Structure formats: C-alpha cells, structure tokens
Structure 1
Amino acid sequence: MKKRYIASAAGAIGAGAAGYILRNGENRHQFKTKVKTAARKIRDRYNGHEVDSTFEDAGAPDQAGKQDVAQLENAKMVSEGSQFGVEYYNQVKEEKNEKMNI
C-alpha cells in the first residue's frame, strides 16, 4: 500500500473515533475544557509565565510548591547560608517595582 492510503485510512479512523466519542454533549464539553486548558498552558509558557514562576520559586526556595531536584538543591544552599539567589531575586523585584512606579 502506498503511504497516502495509510495516512488517509488513519485519518478516517481518527475522525470516526472522534465523532463517536464527541456525539455526547457532556463529552464535547469535557473535550472543549481540556483543549482550552491546554491552549492556555501553552500560551502562558510561550509568553514567559512559566519562567516567571521559576524565578518566583528561586526567591523563596523553601516555600516552593513543586519540589524538583534543582529546587531542593537551591533550598539546601540557602539553608547553608548562601544568599545569592535571594538577593538577586530581591534586586530584580525592586527594579520591576521602580519601573512600574515611574
């Protein structure tokens, strides 16, 4: 078989399955909600909101919601007396506040 026939068959099967699943109103509502949530997450990550949350976590490493390895190492360094990350966070926050007030 040619590749285009395989792709066409896969597309037809996918469309049929989607039609069958989405024939129920509740399923359509759940699908729309999931698509909107995923789109919002992608848009936020693309616009830099994900980076901001990482920066916010660095400002208070022991209070972060997610506890990945890098975050735990940062919290360990702060507990041992390192203040570089916290001072940098405070400096950037002050600069942002000054720009907002001008």
Structure 2
Amino acid sequence: MADLLQEEWVDKLENDNNSFILDVRTPEEVDQGQIPDAANLNIYLGAEFLEELNKLDKSKNYYVYCRSGQRSRQACAIMNSIGIPNAYNLMGGILEWNGDII
C-alpha cells in the first residue's frame, strides 16, 4: 500500500494502462459526486466488501479513495492482506480532490 498525494496519485494513474479506480464510500456519498471512471464498493458492507474484493483481478493496480482518505487507507491494507499488491490510497480523499467530479 502507498499513501499518495493527489498529484502523485494522478500522475501514477495517468501513466498506468493496468489501472482500476475504486471508490469505497457509501452510496449516499457517491450520489454527491464521484471521480470519473470509478467503481464503487462500500467498505461498510463488512464481509460482503471482503467477498467483493476477493473477486477483483489481483494483477490490476488499484487507485482507491474515500471521503477523507481514512477508509481508503484501511481498504488498501485489506487489499494487500488478501494478495492485491498494488493499492494506492488517495491522501485527503475526495474532500481535497481538485480534478473532475461527475
């Protein structure tokens, strides 16, 4: 897991042809706006969240974010623990995001 500032996260993402953006916020938070091309998987689903993580392609590079960076940091640690080696946490989350939101 790596905690990356927005600039680092975006630079890495833009130069990665094996990327997957993962939003781990609640559906209510997602309704307020989301980073383009992100898939949502609510970390608060507990065991179901873990089940869904286990279905992910472990060879992908995951760019993970939440509201402030805390839940996504936790999600990255969980991902690493189940064999997903490349999980990058967006420090500050969407609260500090300066890019596009859909």
Q: Which TM-score bucket, shorter chain as reference?
A: under 0.3
Greater relative contact order, per chain length (Cα 8 Å cut-off, separation 6+): 2
Higher helix share: 1
What's the TM-score once normalised by structure 1's chain length?
0.22
What's the TM-score once normalised by structure 2's chain length?
0.22
Q: Which entry has the higher C-alpha Rg, 1 or 2?
A: 1
Higher strand share: 2
